[in-house]
A and B are shown apart, each in its own frame.
Chain A
Amino acid sequence: MNRKWSNGAFLIICRLAAAISILTLVFLLSVIVFNGIRAINPEFLLTRSRNFGAEGGIFYQIIGSILLVFCTALIGFPLALGTAIFKSEYLKNRYLLKLSSILIYGLNGIPSIIFGIFGLVFFVHYLNTGISWFVGSIILAIMILPTIVLASYQSINSIPKIYRESAQALGLSKWHVVLQVIIPQGIGGAITGLLIGLARAIGETAPIMFIATAFSGVEVPSSLSGPVTALPTHILILSQQATNPLALQNAWGSSLILITIVFIFSISALFSRVRLRLVSQR
C-alpha cells in the first residue's frame, strides 16, 4: 500500500514540475506576444526611431540586423564548410583530429561577451577599424563557426565510405569526389548548422554592442566601416529606460519582431533537420 502511495506521489510531483515549467515558458512567450502585438503597426515597422527609440519605429534596426547576419552567413559558411571537409576528408592523424574537436567545442563554449571583447581589442583597437558593422559580422561568424562546422562534419562524416570509393574507382580525383559526392550529400547538414547558427547570431547583443552598433541616428551604412543599429542592442537601450512606458512598449514590439526572425531561422533548421533524417533513412 505504501509503495502504491509513493508511486502516486512521485507521478504527481513530476506532473507538477512539468506544469510549472510549461506554464513558465508559456508565460514568457505570451508576455512577448501580447505586449509586442500592441506595439506593432505598419508605422512601427516602416519608420525610423526617434527620441532614443521611445518614439517612432524600428525600420533601420531590422535592416541592420538582417545586414549583420547576412554577412555573417557569407563569411561563416564557406569557412566552416572548408574546415569540416578538411577535418573529415584530409585530416588523418588521430591526435590532430582529437585536438581539432577540443578546439571546436572550446570555441563553442566561449561566452558570447568574450567575442565582443576580443573584437573590441583586436579589430577596433589593434587594427583600428573603429566601430564597424562588418567587424560585427566577422565576430558573429566566428561565434557560430563551431555550430556550422560540427553540423557539416557530422553529415559529411556519416556518408558511407563506399560512396567515396565508388567515385574514386571511376577515376575521379579527390577534388571531384569532394565536389560530386561530399558537398552534395553534406550540404544539407551544413545548411541546418548555418540556420541554427544564424538564429543564435541575430539575437546576440553582447558580441556586437561594443564593436558594431550605434544606438540611434544611424541609417544604412554606405561602406564596410561605420556602425549600424540592430534589434538586440535597440532592445537593450529601451529596456534601460523601462520606466518610460513608451520606450517599454517599443521594446516589446522590437522583441516580438526579433523573436519572429529567430523562430523563422530555427523552424527552418528544424524542418531541414527532419528532412535530412528522412533522406538518410531512405
Chain B
Amino acid sequence: MSAYTNKIVKGYVFGSTLISAAVIILILTVLFVNSYDAVKEVGYGLFTLKWNPSDGKFGILSMLYGSLAVTFLSLLISVPLGVLTAIFTAEILHPKYRVYVKSGLELLAGIPSIIYGLIGVAFFSVWVGKLFDLQSGRTIFTAALLLSIMILPTIITLCDDAFHNVPQRYREAAKGAGLYKHEVILRGIIPIAKTDIAGAVLLALGRALGETMAVMLVIGSIDKIPQPFYNFLVPGQTIMSKLGREIAESAFGSLHFSAMIFMGVVLLVIVLGLTVIVQQHFKTGRLYE
C-alpha cells in the first residue's frame, strides 16, 4: 500500500516536472522549426530594411530598430525618474509608509497592458499630436512615453529593494564621517546598490522589449526607420507590434508566416539572454516580476 502510493506521488512530481520541462523545449523547438523556412529562403535578406510580403521582401531591420528605439527612449525617461523616486521612498520617506508604497507599486505594476494601451489611445496620442502639432499623435515617442510609465512601478520597486538591501551600518558610517544626506546617498549607498539597480534596469529592459499591446495601439504601425533616424515624432513599428498586427493575417506555412516567427525568435533570444544574465549575475532575488 505504502510502496504503491509512494510511486503515485513520485510519478506525479516527476511527471509534472517532465511536462514543465517539455513545454519549454517544445516552445523553443516550435519557434525555431517554423522560422527555418525564412532563414533558408530569405537568408541575409532578413536583415534588410524593406518589408513587403507581396513582393517577397522580408527585411526586419525597421522593426528591430523600432523595438530598440522605443525601449531606449522609454528607459531614458523611466530610469532617472524611477531611481530618484526610489531614493525618495527608500532613503527620505519615513519607513512606516514603506509598506503602503510597496503595496501600491505592486498593484500598479499589475495593471494589464491593454489598459495602458487604451489610455495611450485616448490621451497620450492626442496630447502628443496637439503638443507637437502632428497629423497623427501615434508615434515612436508616444509609445516610448507610455512604455516608460508602464515600467515605472517595476523600476521603482526593484530599486527601492536595492537601496533597502544596503545594510544600515554604511549609512551610519557615512553620516559619522560628517557627510550630508546627498553625499551619503550618492557616495555611500549608490555604489553599493548599483549592481542591483543595473539588474532592475535590465529586467525592465526585457519587459519593455517584449511589450506588445500598449505599443501596438499607439505606435502608428509604419514599417520604416524614421528620417533622420533620431526623429521619434513619426510613426514606427516594433517587432512585437508587428507580430500582434500581422501574424493572424499571414497564412500558416507561408514564407510570410515564417519570417514573422523569425522576427519573434530574434527578440526572444535577446530577451532570454537578458533574463539569464540578470539571473546569473545580478541575483536581484525577486521572483514575481
Determine whether A and B are in direct contact in the complex, meaning some CB atoms lie less than 8 angstroms apart.
yes
Least CB separation from B101: chain A residue: A22
**In the complex the two chains form, what is the Cα distance from A91 to B21 in whole Å?**
14
A206 contacts B244, C-beta separation under 8 Å: yes
Is residue B165 contacting chain A, with contact meaning CB distance below 8 A?
A: no
Given the contacts A102-B279, A251-B118, A145 and B15 also touching, CB distance less than 8 Å: no
B156 contacts A263, C-beta separation under 8 Å: no
A11 contacts B181, C-beta separation under 8 Å: yes
Least CB distance from A22 to B in Å reads: 8
Q: Which of B13, B14, B212, B272 contacts A113 (CB 8 A)?
A: B212
* Of B44-52, B68-76, B77-85, B167-175, the one with at least 4 CB within 8 A of chain A: B77-85
Least CB separation from B8: chain A residue: A175
- Residues of A contacting B123 in the complex (Cβ-Cβ under 8 angstroms): 31
**In the complex the two chains form, what is the Cα distance from A78 to B31 in whole Å?**
27
Is residue B230 contacting chain A, with contact meaning CB distance below 8 A?
A: no
A111 contacts B119, C-beta separation under 8 Å: no
**In the complex the two chains form, what is the Cα distance from A170 to B192 in whole Å?**
48
Is residue B122 contacting chain A, with contact meaning CB distance below 8 A?
A: yes
Given the contacts A110-B272, A259-B112, A82 and B13 also touching, CB distance less than 8 Å: yes
**In the complex the two chains form, what is the Cα distance from A79 to B91 in whole Å?**
41
A203 contacts B114, C-beta separation under 8 Å: yes
Q: Which of B13, B88, B121, B156 contacts A90 (CB 8 A)?
A: B13
- Residues of A contacting B91 in the complex (Cβ-Cβ under 8 angstroms): 14
Least CB separation from A266: chain B residue: B110
- Residues of B contacting A176 in the complex (Cβ-Cβ under 8 angstroms): 2
A interface bracket (residues with beta carbon within 8 Å of B): 35 or more
- Residues of A contacting B10 in the complex (Cβ-Cβ under 8 angstroms): 90, 174-175
- Residues of B contacting A154 in the complex (Cβ-Cβ under 8 angstroms): 287
Is residue A161 contacting chain B, with contact meaning CB distance below 8 A?
A: no
Least CB separation from A99: chain B residue: B21
B115 contacts A259, C-beta separation under 8 Å: yes
Least CB distance from A238 to B in Å reads: 8
Least CB separation from A85: chain B residue: B13
Given the contacts A120-B247, A175-B5, A21 and B213 also touching, CB distance less than 8 Å: no
Per-position binary interface string of chain A over residues 69-91, scored 1 when its CB falls under 8 Å from any chain B CB and 0 otherwise: 00000000011111101110111
Given the contacts A117-B261, A175-B9, A199-B110, A24 and B26 also touching, CB distance less than 8 Å: no
Is residue A212 contacting chain B, with contact meaning CB distance below 8 A?
A: no
Residues of A contacting B: mostly:
helix
Is residue A142 contacting chain B, with contact meaning CB distance below 8 A?
A: yes
Per-position binary interface string of chain B over residues 1-38, scored 1 when its CB falls under 8 Å from any chain A CB and 0 otherwise: 01001101110111111011101101100110010000
Q: Which of B78-121 contact A (CB under 8 A)?
A: 80-82, 84-85, 87-89, 91-93, 103-104, 106-108, 110-119, 121
Is residue A220 contacting chain B, with contact meaning CB distance below 8 A?
A: no
Q: Which of A3, A173, A205, A270 contacts B112 (CB 8 A)?
A: A205
Given the contacts A105-B276, A270-B106, A111 and B182 also touching, CB distance less than 8 Å: no
Given the contacts A20-B81, A78-B16, A175-B8, A109 and B206 also touching, CB distance less than 8 Å: yes
**In the complex the two chains form, what is the Cα distance from A103 to B21 in whole Å?**
8
- Residues of B contacting A125 in the complex (Cβ-Cβ under 8 angstroms): 252-253
**In the complex the two chains form, what is the Cα distance from A82 to B10 in whole Å?**
9
- Residues of B contacting A7 in the complex (Cβ-Cβ under 8 angstroms): 180-183
**In the complex the two chains form, what is the Cα distance from A89 to B92 in whole Å?**
43
Is residue A114 contacting chain B, with contact meaning CB distance below 8 A?
A: yes
- Residues of A contacting B2 in the complex (Cβ-Cβ under 8 angstroms): 173, 175-176
Known interface pairs A13-B84, A80-B20, A122-B26; 20 further A-B residue pairs with C-beta atoms within 8 A, sorted by A's residue number: A6-B182, A18-B93, A20-B81, A25-B104, A28-B119, A79-B19, A79-B20, A102-B276, A106-B24, A107-B27, A111-B268, A113-B240, A113-B243, A113-B244, A142-B27, A147-B287, A173-B6, A203-B112, A209-B248, A266-B110
Chain A contacts to B: CB under 8 angstroms: 3-4, 6-7, 9-11, 13-18, 20-22, 24-25, 28-29, 31-32, 78-83, 85-87, 89-91, 100-115, 117-118, 120-122, 125-126, 142, 145, 147, 149-151, 154, 173-176, 178-179, 193, 196, 199-200, 202-206, 209-210, 232, 235-236, 238-240, 242, 248, 251-252, 255, 258-259, 262-263, 266-267, 270
**15 A/B residue pairs, CB under 8 Å, sorted by A:** A18-B84, A21-B85, A32-B115, A79-B19, A106-B272, A112-B212, A117-B31, A121-B31, A122-B26, A125-B253, A203-B110, A203-B113, A235-B114, A255-B118, A262-B110
